[in-house]
Amino acid sequence: MTEPVTPTLLYLDNVTVSFDGFKALNALSLALDHTEMRAIIGPNGAGKTTMMDVITGKTRPNQGTVLFEGKHDLTSLDEAEIAELGIGRKFQTPTVFDMHSIEDNLLLALKGERGPFSALLSRHTNQESERIDALLERVRLTAHRQRRAGELSHGQKQWLEIGMLLAQEPKLLLVDEPAAGMTDQETADTADLLRDIAKTRSVVVVEHDMTFVRELDVKVTCLHEGSVLAEGPLDAVSANERVIEVYLGR
């Protein structure tokens, strides 16, 4: 392999996004290592979702550098290309294909050919079935395999969407508020699942729930007004005067 081995998987430098003069991201810089999990916190409007939009190609930054694996310039690629590079995204509200069975949801997400003609001629292979079995097991939906995704509970949909991300075999997962609307037990289970995923992949978690962030037990970045306010272990960040002032409250 001649690929350069860089320590950073994702590298954002001086990224600015402005909507009609309002700077959603203001010279944001962030670096993420291979198999690192990072929690992003910050008040509403801090730019968390915009940052995800920039990384996944939904929003083009006005300026700045966004590099993946040190060589792919994400600002010049579209959503599908970025997904194929190995970046998966989970939305804030669980977004699954309601009319499809759980199994088909995962089937569509499985890494593989993405063109219309290969889809027309594709046949379901045993390998795919095995992968789907394993994923169903992992997100605890084996018993629901044939049900329509629209019939699942909110928490189950969140997990199905995480399962769909895993099916893509991404190098980086962007997870927006995975614990929103979940019971305490589900929240704890989700933290376990994400920690397990982060053993082999990089994960960025945007979250408001501080208990959940504490359970993740990873480096935390606090955003405010589109740039990094503080970064480090949760205890250090939550002791930071500015963080307390703008986000955690006194």
Partner 1 sequence: MRKQSVFDRQSIVVLSLLAATAVLVPVLNVSVPPGSPFHVSDHLIPLLGKYLSFALLALSVDLIWGFCGILSLGHGAFFALGGYAMGMYLMRQIGPRGVYADPILPDFMVFLNWKELPWFWHGFDWFPFAALMALAVPGCLAFVFGWLAFRSRVTGVYLSIITQAMTFALMLAFFRNDMGFGGNNGLTDFKDILGLPIQSGFTRIVLFVLSAAALAGGYMLCRWVVNSKLGKVLVAIRDAESRTRFLGYRVENYKLAVFTLSAMLAGVAGALYVPQVGIINPGEFAPANSIEAVVWVAVGGRGTLAGAILGALVVNAGKTWFTGALPEFWLFVLGGLFVFVTLLMPRGILGAAKDLWEQGKRVRSGLRRDAVPFAAE
Q: Is 232 helix (H, G, I), strand (E, B) or coil?
A: strand
* Shortest CB 236 distance to partner 1, Å: 33
Return the amino acid letter for 169.
Answer: E
Listed residue (105, 179, 177) closest to 144, CA to CA: 105
Nearer CB in complex with partner 1: 41/109: 109
* Shortest CB 42 distance to partner 1, Å: 22
Phi and psi, residue 161, nearest 5°:
-65, -35
68 Cα distance to chain centroid? 14
Q: What region, left, alpha or beta, does residue 20 occupy, with left being phi > 0 and alpha being psi -120 to 50 degrees?
A: left
Chain positions contacting partner 1, by CB under 8 A: 56, 58, 79-80, 83-84, 88-89, 91, 95-100, 103-104, 107-109, 114-117, 119-122, 124, 128-129, 132, 146, 164, 168
Nearer CB in complex with partner 1: 158/168: 168
* Shortest CB 51 distance to partner 1, Å: 15
The HSE-up count of residue 24 (CA atoms within 13 Å, CB side) is 17
Listed residue (192, 189, 194, 193) closest to 205, CA to CA: 194
Which tokens is 82 given? Answer: 């970025």
Nearer CB in complex with partner 1: 96/229: 96
Return the amino acid letter for 140.
Answer: R
Q: What region, left, alpha or beta, does residue 225 occupy, with left being phi > 0 and alpha being psi -120 to 50 degrees?
A: left
Nearer CB in complex with partner 1: 55/213: 55
Nearer CB in complex with partner 1: 148/195: 148
* Shortest CB 139 distance to partner 1, Å: 16
Would the CA dihedral through 104, 108, 112, 114 be positive or negative? positive
How far is residue 165's CA from residue 87's CA, in Å, rounded to a whole number? 9
* Shortest CB 233 distance to partner 1, Å: 31
* Shortest CB 146 distance to partner 1, Å: 8
Q: Is 90 helix (H, G, I), strand (E, B) or coil?
A: strand
* Shortest CB 187 distance to partner 1, Å: 23
Nearer CB in complex with partner 1: 58/140: 58
Nearer CB in complex with partner 1: 124/154: 124
